[in-house]
Amino acid sequence: MTISGTSGSLVHSTTIDVLVLEPDFSLTANPNSVSFVVNNSATSTIALHSIGGFSGNVSLNATSSPAGLSMSCSPAILVGSQSSICTVNSTTITSYTVTITGTSGNLSHNASIDVMVTPAPQPDFSLDANPSALSFTAGDSRSTTISLQSTGGFAGIVDLTTASSPDGLTSSCTQSSITGSQTSTCTLGSSTAGSYAVTITGASGSLVHTAFVSVEVSPPVAVPDFSLSADPAALSFVAGESGSSTISVMATGGFSDTVGLTATSDPTGVTTVCSPTSIPGSGTAACVMNGRTPGQFKVEVIGTSGSLTRSAPILVNVLPGEPMPDTIPPQITITFPSNSTVLLYANVTVKGNASDDEGIQTVELSTDNVTWVRTNGTASWTANLTIGPGTTTIYARATDTAGNRRTVRVDVYIPSAGGLPPRPPAEGSPFVSGTLVPLHLAAILIGIAAAVEALLFIWTRRNEYGPWTTGSP
């Protein structure tokens, strides 16, 4: 189009290009590429775009190349800016090109869709471990959950097994077989520090799949502790006799406290005595067991230190039969007065000790080896005697529970000069009772007389009998 302008003799013009569009339309497909499993379907949206005031109806028609694809669009007629959902499906596994043709009068336009029909998946499964990485201290354990994911309609039973590389890891799963969407909790543990790769394998027929777990085991933290062991841990003896076992206390983690030892018997009937009864840190104790009832017994030697308690079992078999007779006499000693002692007083407290492997029944004293009086106590004993002036032999004898007896003696001397003095008056009295002699002077006089007579006594006794032996049976 040319536009001219005129003024007198002046004329100028300009040109305008004008494009006059006829009413028309176009089609687009979204998406323009689809895929689906055979015997299933997919959809694509066909949109109508009007041009130049197009307002006509557009009829849709779909064809495929190659043939074999079923297609349907809804709605099949579009107007304005409407759209249609086109569904495609097939029973044949292949690739197709679908052409959607829109027609309105003598106007016709196309939209294309690429279609891929895939095979149906086979029944299968997969395994997943959560978490897939674990860490713990040696001697401890951690768990991971194994999940089963089924695909393609898989409905079989999956058997689980575990393996570690390197060896040294223990594993146990709450369910060794799972199906559907079940899970199994697998616990992994080890007492050896190191890095491990754990493979959890699931098998169902010819199908085999795995899940992997990495495990890091760190060295244990040293904790002060101790343990007990018995050697031997089993022993036998005849009823009424005894047997022994060595109990060892072994310290770990820097343990150095004292361990107290006690023992129990199940059933009751075996008595256990350990020596020593406590051990600092590490060491051994000899535990002697005896019983008079035939049978099988479990002796538990228990070590305790604070809140720590450990034990060592000992199997004890008490055999029927007569025990060996006890023919060993007891031991007895007189600790006061000693042999050849010079006593200043008639009343004397005699002291001593006695012991026996089976037990002390009585301890008795005598000054004539004929008439005997019992002491107070047995293991540690005392008795009061009144002794006349001159030389006196004090006899002490111990009798054990088997009737064995041992006698010891000491010879003592009481001076006869001035008679038998009474014991000194209570502290603070200045005079000896019945005299006007001061206490310290009286003591000096008595001491001089006693010393002279004692020397004569000792000299005479040695000439007659030679040296004396204390505690002779």
Q: Please indicate, yes or no, whether residues 338 and 459 belong to a single structural domain of this protein.
A: yes
So what's the pLDDT on residue 41?
A: 93
Can you tell me the distance from the alpha carbon of 171 to that of 234, in angstroms, rounded to the nearest whole number?
Answer: 35
Mean pLDDT computed over 213-231: 92
- For the cut 70, the answer to whether the pLDDT of residue 364 exceeds it is yes
Q: Give first-to-last CA distance, the chain, whole Å.
A: 160
Closest CA to 44 of 60, 28, 63, 65: 28
CATH code, domain carrying 248: 2.60.40.2310
d(CA 209, CA 231): 52
Asked whether residue 49 is assigned to any structural domain, the reply reads yes
**The pLDDT value given to residue 28:** 95
| Residues 353 and 436 reside in one and the same domain | yes
Least confident of 128-132, 210-214, 278-282, 443-447: 443-447
> Rounded to whole angstroms, how far apart are CA atoms 115 and 65?
10
Structural domains in the chain (count)? 4
Question: Span 89-109, mean pLDDT?
Answer: 92
**Phi and psi (nearest 5°) for 82?**
-70, 165
Residues 244 and 294 placed together within one structural domain of the fold: yes
State which amino acid sits at residue 386.
Answer: T
In this prediction, residue 445 carries a pLDDT of: 52
| Proportion of the chain above pLDDT 70, given as a percent | 87
The per-residue pLDDT for 450 is 57
Tell me, yes or no, whether 459 lies in a domain.
yes
Q: What is the pLDDT of residue 325?
A: 76
Expressed as residue numbers, the domain containing 143 is: 124-218
Query: Domain ends where: 265, 289, 319?
Result: 319
Residue 426 banded pLDDT, cuts 50, 70, 90: very low
Contact 35, 41 (CB under 8 A): no
pLDDT for the residue 436: 35
Residues 83 and 128 in one domain: no
Q: Is the separation of the CB atoms in 142 and 136 below 8 Å?
A: yes
Q: Does residue 325 fall inside a structural domain?
A: no
- For residues 310 and 272, membership in a common domain is answered with yes
Domain membership flag for residue 388: yes
Q: Who contacts 348 (Cβ-Cβ below 8 Å, separation ≥6)?
A: 337, 384, 385, 386, 387, 412
Work out the average pLDDT over 349-356: 93
Indicate whether 66 pLDDT > 70: yes
Domain membership of residue 31 (yes or no) is yes
- 232, 233, 236, 240 alpha-carbon torsion, rounded to 10°: 90
- Interval 204-208 mean pLDDT: 93
Please, what sign has the CA dihedral across residues 151, 153, 156, 157? positive
Indicate the DSSP class of residue 431: B
Highest average pLDDT, of 13-27, 275-289, 403-417, comes from 275-289
Residue bearing the bigger pLDDT, 324 or 114:
114
Boundary of a domain, candidates 265, 293, 319:
319
CA 314-273-402 angle, to 5 degrees, is 115
Both 155 and 268 in one domain: the answer is: no
Query: 99 with 132, same domain?
Result: no
124-167 confidence digits (pLDDT tens):
999 999 999 999 999 899 999 999 999 888 999 999 999 999 99
Are 377 and 298 found together in one domain? no
Q: Are residues 335 and 448 in the same domain?
A: yes
Task: Identify the domain boundary among 90, 118, 146.
Answer: 118
Q: Is the pLDDT at 420 greater than 90, yes or no?
A: no
Work out the angle at residue 248's Cα, subtended by the Cα atoms of residues 244 and 253, and round it to the nearest 5 degrees. Answer: 165
Q: What is the token pair recorded at 399?
A: 């009798």
Has residue 17 been placed in a domain? no
Q: Is 410 helix (H, G, I), strand (E, B) or coil?
A: strand
Burial letters 349-372, b for 16+ CB under 10 A, else e: ebbbbbebeeebbbbbbbbeeeeb
Instruction: Identify whether 339 is part of a domain.
Output: yes
Q: What was the pLDDT predicted at 74? A: 93
Over 80: is that where the pLDDT of 228 sits?
Answer: yes
Residues 276 and 376 in one domain: no
* 5-19, 86-100, 226-240, range with the lowest pLDDT: 5-19
Enter the pTM of the model. Answer: 0.37
Residue 15 in domain: no
Residue 223 binned pLDDT confidence (cut-offs 50, 70, 90) = confident
Same domain, 456 and 344: yes
Per-residue burial over 47-59, b if 16 or more Cβ lie within 10 Å, else e, is: ebebeeebebebe
**Residue 453 pLDDT > 80, yes or no?**
no
Residue 108: how many CA atoms within 13 Å on its side-chain side?
6
For residues 352 and 436, membership in a common domain is answered with yes
- Residue 337: asked if its preceding bond is cis (omega within 30°), the reply is yes
How many CB atoms are located within 10 Å of the residue 403 CB? 11
- Residue 141, pLDDT score: 94
CA-to-CA separations, 186 to 126, 130, 176, 458, in angstroms, rounded: 17, 10, 9, 92
CB 396 within 8 A of CB 438: no
- So what's the pLDDT on residue 456? 58
* CATH code of residue 459: 2.60.40.10
Mean pLDDT over all residues of the chain? 86
